[in-house]
Amino acid sequence: MGQFGRRGLFQWKQMDLTSWVIIPLLLGSAGVYGLYRVLQRLRSNAYIQDAVVVITGATSGLGKECAKVFYAAGSRLVLCGRNEERLEDLVKELSRIGKGSNQQTHKPHKVIFDLSDVEAVSSAAKEIFRLVGKVDILINNAGISYRGTIMNTKVSVDRMIMDTNYFGPVALTKALLPSMTKNGRGHIVVISSVQGRISIPFRSAYAASKHATQAFFDCLRAELAANNIHVTVINPGYIQTNLSVNAVTDDGSKYGVMDKNTANGRSAEDVAQIVLRAVGERKKEVLVAGVVPTLAVYLRTLAPKIFFTIMAARAKKERKMKEM
């Protein structure tokens, strides 16, 4: 059970100093690195196995794929979402996966609530504790995207997106943190976005919510460093999910379009595996994006004038396309 229940995977002090000198000489540099990776993977598996993992937005997309990989790794899941029927379907799907696996698995629990209803988060946290008693790892995944112009976007739409993408995860994190600090361990994960690092035209509300998320969890990481509570921020680029289809527009209506970039994005299955590894290795931040978005992140910092010029040109191009 690793940090979350077992005494540890290895009794390191049983190996004397001679062993630590001889092993690298026998293996060589490549062998040492390979051994390091194996030990790191074993330690990661021990960290996740049997840990109580809460996942929001588990009914579809990345949240659903995260549920699959953490379930297969032996975690005790609490699946959160708004649609009870879809959560039940996921539980059944996971059960089928478990029957064909050699890994010991645990039947997931379900908690139904709307993360955008901040008042409902407190009740949801109490239900989580009633079901499992504690939380080792929280994965804040639920979120909503947006397409629209700042001039035409109602403030109510800005508020709604902030409630879902920022205030909801913040409220749930705060509700679960006292238990983690009492237990002396825990891990908070947030699925942010590359747009938490840079802003692109016609995504103002979404980018703002992700910038706020990035800032909050960066502060949280620093404040909890002495409490043995880890914070991991995942910043993906485009993922092949229905995020753009379910996005809202400036008047609050559904966007309903699968963007080309989204359709050509990274698979949710691949990103879920990256999340699993990042959690197991206690990484502080992971940027999961292609070459261009990654360069844009650094360009924004190192050459902001060039970045602003590029974004202005992009906005002009997109506006012309919409007018055609």
Say what angle helices 304-323 and 291-302 make with each other, to 10 degrees: 130
- β partners of residue 109: 78
Q: How far apart are CA 59 and CA 94, in angstroms?
A: 12
The encoded tokens of residue 257 equal: 């379009």
Q: Are 133 and 76 in contact (CB under 8 A)?
A: no
Q: Rounded distance, CA 322 to CA 20, Å?
A: 64
CA distance 197 to 193: 7
- Of 166, 206, 238, 255, the catalytic one is 206
Look up tokens 């588990």; give the residue.
Answer: 58
Helices 118-132 and 168-183 pack at an angle, to 10 degrees, of: 30
Structure tokens at 160: 């709604």
Confirm whether 47 is a catalytic residue: no
Name the residues annotated as catalytic.
206
